[in-house]
Structure 1
Amino acid sequence: MFCKNCGAQNPDGMKFCSNCGAALEDAAATADATQVQPTVTAQPAPAPQGPAPKPGNGKTVAIVVLAVLLAAAIGLVVYFVVLPQLNGGQQAATSQPAQEQEGDAEADGTDKTESDDTTMIPDTTAAPDTTTPSAGTTLEDMLRSSGQYDEMCDTVTESMEQDMGGVITDAQVEISDNTVCLAMELGVASTDPSATQIVQEVMNACTSDDVATTMGQICAQVESELGLSDVTYLCDFYTSDGVNVGYVGYGASGVIAAESAI
């Protein structure tokens, strides 16, 4: 090997030059050091995935939706069927003492007008007018003409809110002609990976035979009590970002319309 300092030739394996004493470099080591190393390309880290749909989450939402739906339907029945019956019973009970008092006055030979001040007056407040409607009258007409539209909507909304449980973030009701319209906001965005599963579970539950039968019976009962026809429920479902994802309509025959938009 040759010395890089003075150029003198030295035997292989020498560490220092025999001429100038400079340190000698091993040619083999130098070759190894200068050998091109292979390039290693770093692999990009996998992108984080969004949360997977929670098992059973759709079923939980479906159960709550059914509870809210049935609560709204029952609220309507209570308002138009149960309360008038209770009020009618109260009127009969309060009028009975007046009749007995009148009979006692006649038996005593007393002028019945003397007992007018003590006659109990039947309570007729807060009772919906359930007389047979005229031709062309609708459920909405009956409520608005009696000034009870807002009261009815508040009654049904309160029934729904008791069962929402945070899963349904909002619920509104309005009545158009003979249709009770329910709008429910599901606590999930349309872009959420679990939205499709949740909506499918809700639609399956709301169109099941048991629910269809129950809602059909409720529609038929309201029709019978109020002398109306074609009373329907329309349930619209929305995501938290305002996207309409489906609806189900009920009539006396059960499910009359249903469509999922997701």
Structure 2
Amino acid sequence: MTLFRDPTHYSENSVVQKSEASYLIDKADINFASKKLLDVGSGDGKLSALMSNMGAEVTGIDISESMVNFSTHNYPNCRFFQGDAQDLTKHAINYNIITSFNCLHWISDIERVLSGIKAKLEKDGIFLGLIYPRCVGLWDAADWCENLPEYKVSSKLFVNPYCFHTKSDMENLLTQVGFTNIKLWEEERQTTFQTKEEFKGYIMGWLPHYHYYGQSFIKPWLHKYMELTDQMTNTEVTMEYKTIFFIAS
């Protein structure tokens, strides 16, 4: 299953990803000027470009060729290349700052990636990132849909590539790979979409079930999500979720 096949759709429907990363960047209050920065899981490139505009010399890495082509075309002030986050130790240079905003939950061997990040940081380098723990409404609705008659057979072959980690998981992992100065916290967050169509666009930009089962999955999924979150009569949709933020060195 290939995720993020449509970088244009993702770029136009990733308001949550951008707002969470921007919030952390503001919170961290880091001087990006002239710093060598590696953005792991750079996606459509908009966050890489944001940090480049703040003065950093940005290199972005993403496993998706279409995302890399999109970001290279749209943000020529940064360098982008296709690569696996699990192979960071192969990089020839070290970085002052490494970021990963909407990537780590897609990686099965997260410890290997974090170890590679630690290895490629300069001695006084900073790792800035975030990850999302399990959002009950989103995933309970997806689990429910998997058991519908029309999906039950194909569900036997479906493996969710999204990996769930808790705050304590992340703290332990960062410590295990050698980070000693760790600021890590979890916040309850929410985003309101003005219409259901806007919310569907966001969900279709990343939900692995959509890419596996197809367009037909979204209608029952949305109905169940609205039911589970007590929003059946609403025209707008408020998505509540948690984000784990961290700044480590």
TM-score range normalised by the length of the shorter chain: under 0.3
TM-score (norm 1): 0.21
Work out which of the two has the higher radius of gyration on C-alpha atoms and give 1 or 2.
1
Higher relative contact order (CA 8 A, sep 6+): 2
* Structure number with higher strand proportion: 2
TM-score (norm 2): 0.22
